[in-house]
Structure formats: C-alpha cells, structure tokens
Amino acid sequence: MNTNGNTYTVIYSTVLVILVAAILAFVSMALKPRQDDNVKVETISKILTAANLYDAEAAAQKGNAYVLEQYQNCVASAEIINYEGKTLQTLTIKGEDGKPVIFDALKPQYDLMKKIADAQDKGQSESEINALKAQLQLPVYTFNSDGRKIRVVPCYGAGLWGPVWGYLAFEEDMNTLDGAVFDHKGETPGLGAEIAHEKFYSQFHGKQIYDQAGNFVSVKVVKGGAHGDINGVDAISGGTITSNALQKTIEQWLSFYVPYFKTIASENAAAQAGTDETGTNINAEE
C-alpha cells in the first residue's frame, strides 16, 4: 500500500486524531469526579489547617475521608457574606453526595476587587463603587474549637509568578489571628515558596489586625523582621516580592471583611456582657 499518498495521509491523520480525542474524552470524564474531590479536599484541608483543626498524620493515613469528616464535625456554619457583612447565602455542609460545598470562586472576587480599586483610583462616584462592591461574595467558615468559635476567611491575590492564596482564622474578638495558611502556584522554591511552609505561616498565630488605636492595619509582612510587632510577621529573606504581594493580598481581602468583623465582635462582646452579670461598661466597637 502507498502510505505516502495524499488521500492516505489525510485519512490516516483524521482517524488518528479522532481516536485519540475519544480516548482522552473518555478518560477525562471517568476521572473528573475524583479530581474534583481532590481539589475540594485540598481546599478544606487548608481551611482546617488555618483553624488549627487539621491533623496531617491522620490525613496521610485515612486520606480524603478524614478531611471531609473532620470538616463536618467541626464546622458550625459556612456562609457567603457581602461587603456590608450581611449573609447572602449559606453553604451546604453535608450535600446530597455527603460532601460539603466549598466556595472556590476566589479569583472572580479578586478580579472584582481590582476593579473596585481601579474605580477608586479614577475617582468614580460612590454609588458606582458601591455597585461593584455589592457584587462581592465573601465566604466565611465558622468552626467550633474548644468551645470557641473560630472564623476562617480566604484571601487570593497575585504573587511573583502566579497566584498566591490562603486562609486566615480569627478568634472571637475578630482581631486576633488564631492561625493562617498560605499556598501558591509557582513561587520560587526556597524563597517565595516558603510562604506555604509552617515556619512562615505559624508566625500569624496571635497577631492582630487592628493597631492600639483600633484602626484596621491588617498584618504586615515586615522585611528585616517584625521584632515582636503585634501587627507584623517576619518577611522571607530573598522573597521580598512574594512577601509584599501576600501582605497586599491579606490587607485587600480583610478590608472588605472589616464591617462583618465589627458586627460579630460587637455581638460577641454583647453576649459576653449578657452572661457577665456585673459587666456594665463593655462598649461594643462601632
């Protein structure tokens, strides 16, 4: 047979491509549910790590099932709020398939935040900016941990080579961080990539996002060392751009959560005052 003819070549390549496409489509469809599960479990494990509820050893032994179970045992509520702190939607904790629903559309929120910042730079009117802000969907996961409620919020932004993201867990005062965890797509190994290591993110434990005067300052990632600053952690040597990007990301996200944080903090303070019979002058923050 003449394998060099035009007709043969065209038919051969067509058949080959169709065949390969069919195989790939089949495999992709067959493996898709498993892959989606893995992505979801990965996200949940990050959220749990931030809230100090994650046991890496148990996860290594029992796999995905442990992570889902641990989440469902500890979570009190999961909801999406808007920039004013109003609840837009609650997320299912145990869906029909037995798995929780996790809000994973962080990138669209980040894009929206960039638009809002642009609009503010251009000096657009308040109502235009608020219309943009109203589109924001901000997830909050609340966990029960030793009788306290720990609230975990995400952040997502641009690092040096690709996206960086993470989760921040707050104590009931909505000021002190209980923990944090970060991840990245492709920061430089040994430098920027260190943000994903415990040595870096464990520094966030006990840090606060308001300064002494009660102004929102977020948590700074300080080059040269934070030296015990309650609002700062040590940056990574050689990873300045990633460190700065992370600081900006945290600040950007938390700034939209501040109204919600204040509401919760004052509710908690009021509840505290209610249970405490002698408690009189506990003033909730505005």
Residue 179 CB, shortest distance to other proteins, in Å, is 21
Determine if 17 is a binding residue for other proteins (CB under 8 A). yes
How far is Cα 276 from Cα 169, in angstroms, rounded to an integer?
Answer: 26
Dihedral of the CA atoms 96, 102, 106, 112 (nearest 10)? 60
Interface with other proteins by CB under 8 A: which range of 36-44, 84-92, 169-177, 269-277?
A: 36-44
Interface with other proteins by CB under 8 A: which range of 96-104, 141-149, 186-194, 217-225?
A: 186-194
Interface with other proteins by CB under 8 A: which range of 14-22, 65-73, 86-94, 174-182?
A: 14-22
Determine if 28 is a binding residue for other proteins (CB under 8 A). yes
* Cα distance from N-terminal residue to C-terminal residue, the chain: 86
CA distances from 80 to 83, 84, 149, 257, 262 (A): 10, 12, 17, 11, 16
**Of 42 and 118, CB closest to other proteins:** 42
Interface with other proteins by CB under 8 A: which range of 5-13, 137-145, 202-210, 267-275?
A: 5-13
Determine if 25 is a binding residue for other proteins (CB under 8 A). no
Site string for other proteins, 229-248 (x = CB under 8 A): ---------x----------
Candidate list 98, 123, 189, 228; residue touching other proteins; CB under 8 A: 189
Residue 131 CB, shortest distance to other proteins, in Å, is 37
Residue 152 carries which side chain, given as an amino acid letter? V
Interface with other proteins by CB under 8 A: which range of 81-89, 168-176, 182-190, 204-212?
A: 182-190
Identify residues 39-58 at the interface with other proteins (CB under 8 A). Answer: 39, 41-42
Residue 16 CB, shortest distance to other proteins, in Å, is 6
Determine if 190 is a binding residue for other proteins (CB under 8 A). yes
> Which residues here bind other proteins, judged by CB under 8 A?
3-4, 8-9, 12-13, 16-17, 20, 23-24, 27-28, 31, 34-35, 38-39, 41-42, 185-186, 189-190, 238
